[in-house]
Amino acid sequence: MIKKIVLELTYFSIILVLLASLMHRDLLVSPLLRFEHMQANGNYLHPFIWSFLLYLIIAIFRVVVKKILKFKNRS
């Protein structure tokens, strides 16, 4: 069970880092400046919200594919 949780947290972390680096190019050049902008605007949660939404979409897709493959292998 712990292994599964760690795997899912790894997926979420990868999505978080990819989305952050794709949306904010300046994060790669000057991360401290990006964090200062985030602090000034007070929007701390938006990276986690967007990442969670994408994670949910991917998780639903994974479950659907798993069910389809399970049904296909059964018959």
The DSSP code for 25 is: T
pLDDT surpasses 80 at 75: no
Angle (nearest 5°) at CA 58 between 22 and 15 = 30
Encode pLDDT of 17-39 as tens digits: 999 889 888 878 888 888 888 88
DSSP state of 45: S
Per-residue pLDDT reduced to its tens digit, 29-67: 888 888 888 888 887 888 899 999 999 999 999 999 999
Number of structural domains in the chain: 1
Q: Which domain holds residue 66?
A: 2-74
Rg (CA), the chain: 17
